[in-house]
Structure formats: C-alpha cells, structure tokens
Amino acid sequence: MSSASYDAIDYNLRPAKAIERKMLAELFRRLDRAAALKHYRYVGFGSPYFADFVLFHRALDIQSMVSIEREVDDRPRFEFNRPFGAVELMFGESAEVLPQLDWEQRSIVWLDYDDPLDTAMLNDIALCVDRLPSGSVLIVSARAQLDADPETRFAEFKENLEAFVPPELTVDDLGGWDIARHYRQIIDERINGAIRDRNIGRSDSVQVAYSQLVNFEYADGVKMMTVGGVILNQSDASHFRSCNFEEFEFFKPDAYAYRIKLPRLTPKEVRHLDALLPSGTPPDATDVGIPLTQSNKYAAVYRYFPKYVDVEG
C-alpha cells in the first residue's frame, strides 16, 4: 500500500487547493437561497488536516459532517485532530462507507481523491448519484497527472478506467491538461448514466437531473481537476434558480474549465495590490516592478488567496 498523501503533502500549504476550497464555500453558501444550508450534511475525506471541514463548518454553519478515512491504522491521529464534535469519523474505503450512510438528508459530498481517476471512484460517484436527495451537491476531485512517459501514461489511463476509456483515444491524446479534460467527460457520462438508471420507472415529478456547476483545473506541483454540480427534481429546480450560480466567474457548466492560476508575488507585493483592489480592470503596478501578468492572475483570485505565509517584521 502506498503511503498516505497527507504524509507527503501539508494540506494547509496548497495555495491553489485553498483557493478552490474557498470558491466552493462561496458557491455552497448560495444554496441557502433555496434551502436552509444549516440542515445540510457535509461528507468528505478530512485527512488529519480537516481543512474543508473547518472552513465549511465555520463559513456555512453546517452542523452534520462525516469524514471518511481509509487509513485505519492512523485512527488515533484522526481522532486527535478532529476539529469539532460535529464531525463523525467513519473508517474504511469510501466504497465500504458510502453505502452505510443514511441518505435521507440533503448533502454536499466532496469525493476529494488524491489519486488518478479509476473505476472504483466511478462506482462511488454512481452510488452517490443514486442515493443523494434532490437539492444535494456532488463534487469530485482527482489527480490529473500520470506517468511522464507517453506510452506508460496511456497504459496507466487504460488500466485505471477499463471500459470507460473513450474508444477513439490514442497515446497522443493525454498531453498537458488532456487527462483532466477526459476525466471530466468520463465523470459526466458516469453521473448522467446513473441519473438515467435512477429515473427508470419513476414519475416525472420525482425524476432528477444533474447540472454541472464547477470544472476546476489547478496545480500545486501536480495537476488536479475538480468537477461537480447539483442534483434536482422538477419541483426543486425552480427554487434553486434563485441561487444564481451563474453569477460566479468560476461557474462552469460544460467542458470549459476554470483554471486557477497562481500569481508569483511577495507578501509586500500582495499588500500593494490589495490596496488597488477591487477595480474595474486589473491593477497596473508596473511602476513598482510587478509584471502585469502577475497582477492579472492575482486580481482573478485575490478574494480567495490564502494569507498563511510568515508576516515580515
């Protein structure tokens, strides 16, 4: 078994991930326009850092939270780091734990995998789609980076996804961000296939549909992708239109991803740009030597940019 990712990565020091997390929190807050957010349940993979649990409890007042932890041998460490009494820890693989959950409650489920997409993850996704009540949100993240060698990368992609691999795919189709693009397509097809299965034999009033809300790409050293959306029946669909998710710049209902681009700035440069924001156009700080490319990147994410670096004296 490979070592746990949290032993290799400090989850508090992944700036692009932190930005994505804050954007999702802002998106989730809009659910409150259609349904009482405090009555939602959050299901995720906390790891010892529980960064998403801390943010969503404090920012959204979600009271019911379930963290699925597969590293059973580290149970004492998870229990020690559990940030709130509201967080219930359930140990085991997601495929084992997800079927045990009570699915009566509207939920925000973030299947935040660290590994490349595989068939087991697609089965988790299908199970969630089959069980989630209308008004729930499903988010999926996966590592969109495989072996550097093209032939090995192609073989790894096929081995992980088996029958879900597009038949027209070739070894030349997995360069750059192509893996993220294919993952989104495969996840979307799996979700909509599960939706079709769920709706069989049901009346129109209780049939559900999936609407994609986000499609992120980012890299904190490794390429990652996140895609997700809301599951709604007909009667709830009219209420949830008031959420106006489309007002967010990062709202992405299709294959076009929102790429989180990290600026390379010193703390003093960040403070300088903050003093110029918000503005109708990206701030021009070339007079102090900050390139426009960096100012543009910062202006796009400054409200979500983490401030966890040491403060200079």
Domains with residue ranges and CATH for the chain: 5-259 (3.40.50.150), 267-304 (no CATH)
Neighbours of 38 (CB within 10 A): 11
**pLDDT at residue 303, rounded to an integer:** 94
Within the chain, what is the greatest distance between any pair of CA atoms?
A: 67
Q: Which amino acid is at 214?
A: V
Judging by DSSP bridges, how do beta strands 223-233 and 136-143 pair with one another?
Answer: antiparallel
**pLDDT at residue 10, rounded to an integer:** 59
* CB of 68 closer than 8 Å to CB of 92: yes
What's the pLDDT tens digit per position in 47-75? 899 999 999 999 999 999 999 999 999 99
- Six token digits for residue 159: 């081995």
**pLDDT at residue 281, rounded to an integer:** 86
**pLDDT at residue 7, rounded to an integer:** 59
Rounded Cα distance, 107 and 81, in Å: 23
Q: Which residues pair with 87 in a beta bridge?
A: 65
3-state class of 149 per DSSP? coil
pTM: 0.92
**pLDDT at residue 48, rounded to an integer:** 92
**pLDDT at residue 280, rounded to an integer:** 84
Query: Can you list the residues of the chain whose pLDDT is less than 70?
Result: 1-13, 308-313
